[in-house]
Amino acid sequence: MSGPDAAGATHAPLAFAVLAHHVVTLDAARSDGLLSGFDLMSPYVWRRDAAYQLLVRVLPNPLGPDDATGIIYAGTSRDGLFFEMAHDPAIVPGPEDVDAAGVEDPTVVRSGEQVMVFYTGVEKGRARGSLLVAEGRDITAMTKRKVLLQAPEGEGNIKEATVAQGADGKYRLFYEYAREIEPGRAASRIGMAIADSLEGPWTVADDPFTVRDDAWDNWHLSTGPMLSRAGKPNVMFYNGATDDARWRIGWIAFDENYTQVVDRCVEPLIVPPPPRLRSGIDIAFAASCLDEHDGIHLYYSLEDRVLRRATIGWLVTE
């Protein structure tokens, strides 16, 4: 479904439909996608040669006060649904304090022969999250490079990076951050920074869009993967929620340089099914997507614990 959140749009209204849902499993996981004793989140999947590559955040359930909030593991697959995981993690917390408490939310950007991983580092004591970069020729041999972006005064954790390049050649870094909306009540928002190269420096710009008071995304926003097709608006499959953190997946479209919203969904594209357990979390959260021959493959997590892939059709409305 498309909506009226478009200023000066000249294209036909956009429309998307979910065609199928699939379970994503790891070779160390059960048939329902659960890894025994651990939760799986933030599945970033991309193509390299004939294989699918995966980075995923793994964390204990329940999470103890001294546990890492995330460790990033890597895997490969031939079909994009069943992944064989490397025994050793790709990115681990520490040794510096900036990510000593956990590493989360990997996003992969190819730069020549190098693989750059933008990820969230949680500071020792879990006081703050920052965006960091690790780099290498292979996801099993990554070297941490630097802190990319830290929260300014008055904003909380910076996390969930999405990187896109505009028609002007400049890079946009979209990220989630926390803002106090009312005394004692914070909300997630989406920020944006701009740079001439992936290495930065990054300059923080105005937020690309915000919440809608009477909609399903009226309190929280978080970034999701970007889809770009020649001659079409750039589309982000973003995450939104009400103040009770019932997260759903929607979409929003931008012009070629991400300066203007040209369309936005009215209703969410993906609504999670009821949790299987009473202790389950009512959440669907998008992490990555691939534009494949049979549709858009959108990878997401359910209940902050299992992985799924939706096949999405871009409907022709002209």
Write the pLDDT tens digit of every residue in 275-315.
Answer: 877 777 899 999 999 999 999 999 999 999 999 999 999 99
Q: What is the pLDDT of residue 153?
A: 59
* 38 part of a folded domain: yes
Confidence of residue 97 (pLDDT cuts 50, 70, 90): very high
Return the percentage of the chain with pLDDT > 90, whole number: 76
* 225 part of a folded domain: yes
Return the percentage of the chain with pLDDT > 70, whole number: 94
Q: What is the mean pLDDT of residues 162-174?
A: 97
- Which of the residue ranges 11-15, 220-224, 225-229, 231-235 would you say has the lowest mean pLDDT? 11-15
Residue 1 makes CB contacts below 8 A (sequence gap 6+) with: 15, 265, 266, 267
Q: What is the pLDDT of residue 1?
A: 45
* 7 part of a folded domain: no
**CB hemisphere CA count around 142 (13 angstroms):** 26
- Which of the residue ranges 134-148, 185-199, 215-229, 247-261 would you say has the lowest mean pLDDT? 134-148
CA 41 to chain centre: 10
* Count of structural domains, the chain: 1
- Which of the residue ranges 44-48, 135-139, 160-164, 249-253 would you say has the lowest mean pLDDT? 135-139
Residue ranges making up the domain that contains 78: 16-314
Q: Which amino acid is at 177?
A: Y
Helix (H, G, I), strand (E, B) or coil at 94: coil
Q: Which amino acid is at 156?
A: G
Sheet holding 226-227, edge to edge: 226-227, 234-236, 252-254, 261-264
Across the chain, mean pLDDT equals 91
* 4 part of a folded domain: no
Alpha carbon distance 141, 87 (integer Å): 13
Q: Please determine, for residue 220, whether its predicted confidence score (pLDDT) is greater than 90.
A: yes
Q: What is the pLDDT of residue 204?
A: 93
Q: What is the mean pLDDT of residues 258-263?
A: 97
Q: What is the pLDDT of residue 5?
A: 55
Q: Please determine, for residue 155, whether its predicted confidence score (pLDDT) is greater than 70.
A: no
Q: What is the mean pLDDT of residues 234-258?
A: 97
Alpha carbon distance 84, 156 (integer Å): 35
Alpha carbon distance 223, 239 (integer Å): 6
Q: Please determine, for residue 33, whether its predicted confidence score (pLDDT) is greater than 80.
A: no
Beta bridge partners of 38: 35, 60
The DSSP bridge pattern shows strands 82-85 and 16-26 to be: parallel
Q: What is the mean pLDDT of residues 156-163?
A: 91
Q: Which two tokens stand for residue 136?
A: 């290498």
Q: Which amino acid is at 230?
A: A
CATH number at residue 42: 2.115.10.20
Looking at residue 5, the DSSP 8-state letter turns out to be -
* 2 part of a folded domain: no
Q: What is the pLDDT of residue 150?
A: 83
Alpha carbon distance 291, 122 (integer Å): 31
Beta bridge partners of 114: 111
Return the higher-pLDDT residue of 204 and 34: 204
Q: What is the pLDDT of residue 154?
A: 56
Q: How deeply is 72 buried, as exposed, middle or buried, from its count of CB atoms within 10 A (0-12, 13-18, 19+)?
A: buried
* 123 part of a folded domain: yes
Q: How deeply is 161 buried, as exposed, middle or buried, from its count of CB atoms within 10 A (0-12, 13-18, 19+)?
A: buried
CA 35 to chain centre: 20
Q: What is the mean pLDDT of residues 146-167?
A: 84
Q: What is the mean pLDDT of residues 254-273?
A: 97
